Chains A and B, each alone.
Chain A
């Protein structure tokens, strides 16, 4: 038996970007090996059927790797705790499936203001649109077309998720103010697809979906990629991407079960280990010819980390809203304040998204903001007046790509395989603070317009955990215009190593004011299409072409 495996393309990471890439390449018969440090999730590993379903959010279904501490997780150090999941499906195993698209303006923020590290995307919304559409069709999106605040989008696989009483009430509030709003697109089935059941409005999406209604890639892309013959290796933790003479040759991984090391050799290597894991791996791959890490000759790997700026605003009303029903991601969104208006004192804008909130225990423990029901004599009165009468409005702002917000290696702390932990540093820019403060006041106005507010609570700037909670981790290996401003060209090809590609949320140039996964997957699908069509060129390139002279489609 050979001491190594050979393949056409090696993909690292089986999450949102890696799965889309593996499936699309293998559709055309390209031989793909995918290495994933985690394992498959079993349908019974979701908490929905247990009486402790609400409690499990703090244990097995914690969003924080440092709290879960599973063997497939790696710890993070630094001043913030980004949220992610490691396994077949990556962080989509955990995500809520909110599925907005970036708006065209998001692709030209460098032109619009260029503040801090902001640059233009090397592509436009219109160029990316066909790939949004392909990805939507692959995974099955619930959507209501006709939003006048966004370019037209294709019909969804099914209609938008129903808004329930929360959607109806908040929709009336926005309507009263004359503000834009629309039912949210969600990567959630509202009619059956493949072997997946449609959503039955159970109300607990952030523990994954045992009905497979939420489009996590273990139930969307992976079954089809495996039928195409992709060699997906689980519990395979990559420790180094190997390179020789300026080209990637493959990777070495550790089998987490046996501890043995293996090598995979490939013509093309695609990294999709997310915006923390990807820079971590590139930095760990420092070697001869690449002393500061792979693809890092300009020192930009790990920089310009974005999380979105946040505030969670909980409102309780004087009437039943029954927010325990219906899927958990945004019921509806308002993009009334999406565009830059510098008379407000800041650049960029935000989405107001309206969400729901779990069940009785979560309500007793203060919903999203810790407005906890007192123990003792006042318990009953407080609980009874708050349960099922709540709506969450969250302010989701576009944060600036700040160069010093970055991922580095922490030599002091290691994962269960002895590899260095990533150190994550993130500070909110003053611009983003002002934006969120301004947005919080708009959230209050919307709740007041809906009418009947009896109590409020807020996390304030930074979401639930102080610094922004990092649900959306973006931008640490961004695509750009020149080798001086970015890590990859407009085809996700690293400037330093022509056959090394990056197709996860690290490649996002700016973060917009919406959830990122539909965009990062559209970028991954576009990149897969490029690799498919230009396989021959890429195999022989000795330097990465500039955006103008790349062969293109």
Chain B
């Protein structure tokens, strides 16, 4: 087997994101955390994104400088950092209402970038073990939900079919030789190759 990861380095996106992750300055990290906390506010038994390190996830999926950000979430290091810098210290110090207004403006004026940022923050937040544990505690539908599908799976907690219900199913079919012409609606009439 040819290791295409070696033969075609840079031509496939690395599973799990780039390692090492892109590193942010303290201020950039604070800005990203502040934005994430407005996108998904904590409370009602759920932690805030900044408390569960969404940063380490997001920064793995930002394409390092020098490479084209051609795969989802289409965030390139230089542009991403420049955008954080533009939000600046003021965004961190602002009230929640003010931050929401800034993010609302971004959503309106730069919907594509905003969409990618929101999506990657959602992916990051809902992958964090602390969030999954909160879901397990708070949501009845998530009692057995796990952080990743494997290795465990869910066979131990999976309901089976109801035989009694299946016993009532009715249905029919014809053999190939029994198929006959139907009256084709006039508007569909045309036959041919």
- Whether the Cβ atoms of B162 and A171 lie closer than 8 Å is yes
Is B183 an interface position by the 8 A CB rule? yes
CB interface residues, A 147-186, toward B, < 8 Å = 147-151, 160, 162-165, 167-168, 171-172, 175, 178, 180-183
Is B89 an interface position by the 8 A CB rule? no
- Whether the Cβ atoms of A144 and B150 lie closer than 8 Å is no
Complexed CA–CA distance, A379 and B192 (Å): 54
Please indicate the chain B residues that have their CB under 8 angstroms from the CB of A47 in the complex.
15
Query: Known: A51-B148, A376-B100. Is A201-B158 also a contact (CB below 8 A)?
Result: yes
Please indicate the chain A residues that have their CB under 8 angstroms from the CB of B142 in the complex.
360, 387-388
Complexed CA–CA distance, A125 and B175 (Å): 8
Is A4 an interface position by the 8 A CB rule? no
What residue in chain B is nearest A108 (Cβ atoms)?
Answer: B179
- Whether the Cβ atoms of B157 and A325 lie closer than 8 Å is yes
- Whether the Cβ atoms of A51 and B155 lie closer than 8 Å is no
CB interface residues, A 90-129, toward B, < 8 Å = 103-105, 107-108, 110-119, 124-126
Complexed CA–CA distance, A178 and B161 (Å): 18
In the complex, which of the residues B46, B100, B160, B176 contacts A163, with contact meaning CB atoms closer than 8 Å? B160
Complexed CA–CA distance, A457 and B140 (Å): 23
Query: Known: A47-B15, A116-B192. Is A380-B44 also a contact (CB below 8 A)?
Result: yes
In the assembled complex, the CB of A130 is this many whole angstroms from the nearest CB of chain B, namely 14
30 pairs of residues in contact across A and B, judged by CB atoms under 8 Å: A39-B2, A40-B1, A47-B15, A52-B57, A55-B61, A71-B4, A104-B179, A105-B176, A107-B179, A113-B181, A114-B191, A164-B159, A167-B159, A168-B161, A172-B165, A181-B169, A199-B153, A202-B150, A203-B149, A325-B158, A336-B171, A361-B123, A365-B123, A376-B38, A376-B41, A387-B135, A387-B141, A388-B141, A389-B141, A403-B193
- Whether the Cβ atoms of B12 and A104 lie closer than 8 Å is no
Is B16 an interface position by the 8 A CB rule? yes
Query: Known: A103-B173, A203-B149. Is A320-B155 also a contact (CB below 8 A)?
Result: no
- Please tell me which stretch of A240-248, A341-349, A518-526, A545-553 contacts chain B, meaning at least 4 of its Cβ atoms lie within 8 angstroms of it: A341-349
Query: Known: A172-B165, A201-B154, A347-B188. Is A55-B123 also a contact (CB below 8 A)?
Result: yes
In the assembled complex, the CB of B70 is this many whole angstroms from the nearest CB of chain A, namely 7
- Whether the Cβ atoms of A148 and B103 lie closer than 8 Å is no
- Whether the Cβ atoms of B179 and A167 lie closer than 8 Å is no
In the assembled complex, the CB of A258 is this many whole angstroms from the nearest CB of chain B, namely 10
Is A408 an interface position by the 8 A CB rule? no
Give the interface of A toward B (CB within 8 A). 39-40, 42, 44-45, 47-56, 58-60, 62, 67, 69-72, 103-105, 107-108, 110-119, 124-126, 144, 146-151, 160, 162-165, 167-168, 171-172, 175, 178, 180-183, 199-204, 210-211, 234-235, 257, 300, 320-322, 324-326, 335-336, 340, 342, 345-347, 359-361, 363-365, 373, 375-377, 379-380, 384, 387-389, 403, 430-431, 484-485
What residue in chain B is nearest A124 (Cβ atoms)?
Answer: B176
What residue in chain B is nearest A41 (Cβ atoms)?
Answer: B1
Q: How many residues of B contact A (CB 8 A)?
A: 89
- Whether the Cβ atoms of A234 and B150 lie closer than 8 Å is no
Is B82 an interface position by the 8 A CB rule? no
Query: Known: A52-B16, A201-B158, A364-B122. Is A115-B145 also a contact (CB below 8 A)?
Result: no
Query: Known: A52-B17, A53-B149, A200-B153. Is A377-B61 also a contact (CB below 8 A)?
Result: no
- Whether the Cβ atoms of B188 and A431 lie closer than 8 Å is yes
Please indicate the chain B residues that have their CB under 8 angstroms from the CB of A346 in the complex.
185, 188
In the assembled complex, the CB of B73 is this many whole angstroms from the nearest CB of chain A, namely 8
Ordered nearest first, which 7 A-B pairs have the shortest CB separation? A149-B171, A388-B141, A200-B153, A320-B141, A202-B149, A58-B72, A114-B191
Interface string of B43-82 (1 = CB under 8 A from A): 1101000000000010011000000001111000000000
What residue in chain B is nearest A167 (Cβ atoms)?
Answer: B161
- Whether the Cβ atoms of A175 and B165 lie closer than 8 Å is yes
Complexed CA–CA distance, A346 and B187 (Å): 9
In the assembled complex, the CB of B192 is this many whole angstroms from the nearest CB of chain A, namely 7
Interface string of B133-156 (1 = CB under 8 A from A): 001001111111101111111110
Please indicate the chain A residues that have their CB under 8 angstroms from the CB of B152 in the complex.
200, 202
- Whether the Cβ atoms of A342 and B184 lie closer than 8 Å is yes
Interface string of B26-43 (1 = CB under 8 A from A): 000000000000111101
Please indicate the chain B residues that have their CB under 8 angstroms from the CB of A71 in the complex.
4, 8, 11-12
Please indicate the chain B residues that have their CB under 8 angstroms from the CB of A149 in the complex.
169, 171-173
Is B23 an interface position by the 8 A CB rule? no
- Whether the Cβ atoms of B157 and A342 lie closer than 8 Å is no
Is B190 an interface position by the 8 A CB rule? yes
- Whether the Cβ atoms of B168 and A175 lie closer than 8 Å is yes
Is B25 an interface position by the 8 A CB rule? no
Query: Known: A126-B175, A149-B173. Is A326-B154 also a contact (CB below 8 A)?
Result: yes
- Whether the Cβ atoms of A148 and B154 lie closer than 8 Å is no
| 10 other A-B residue contacts (CB within 8 Å) besides A51-B57, A104-B178 | A104-B179, A108-B179, A112-B182, A116-B192, A119-B193, A182-B171, A202-B149, A202-B153, A320-B141, A380-B41
Query: Known: A359-B126, A387-B139, A388-B145. Is A200-B38 also a contact (CB below 8 A)?
Result: no
Complexed CA–CA distance, A110 and B184 (Å): 12
Query: Known: A71-B8, A375-B39. Is A48-B193 also a contact (CB below 8 A)?
Result: no
Please indicate the chain B residues that have their CB under 8 angstroms from the CB of A485 in the complex.
193
Please indicate the chain A residues that have their CB under 8 angstroms from the CB of B71 in the complex.
58-60, 67, 69
What residue in chain A is nearest B178 (Cβ atoms)?
Answer: A104
Please indicate the chain B residues that have their CB under 8 angstroms from the CB of A204 in the complex.
149-150
In the assembled complex, the CB of B53 is this many whole angstroms from the nearest CB of chain A, namely 11
Query: Known: A234-B2, A485-B193. Is A324-B161 also a contact (CB below 8 A)?
Result: no
What residue in chain A is nearest B72 (Cβ atoms)?
Answer: A58
What residue in chain B is nearest A416 (Cβ atoms)?
Answer: B11
- Whether the Cβ atoms of A360 and B126 lie closer than 8 Å is yes
- Whether the Cβ atoms of B154 and A200 lie closer than 8 Å is yes
In the assembled complex, the CB of B172 is this many whole angstroms from the nearest CB of chain A, namely 6
- Whether the Cβ atoms of B173 and A150 lie closer than 8 Å is yes
- Whether the Cβ atoms of B123 and A52 lie closer than 8 Å is yes
In the assembled complex, the CB of B105 is this many whole angstroms from the nearest CB of chain A, namely 13
What residue in chain B is nearest A400 (Cβ atoms)?
Answer: B188
In the complex, which of the residues A58, A111, A384, A403 contacts B138, with contact meaning CB atoms closer than 8 Å? A384
In the complex, which of the residues B61, B151, B187, B193 contacts A117, with contact meaning CB atoms closer than 8 Å? B193
- Whether the Cβ atoms of A379 and B41 lie closer than 8 Å is yes
Query: Known: A183-B166, A377-B41. Is A342-B182 also a contact (CB below 8 A)?
Result: yes
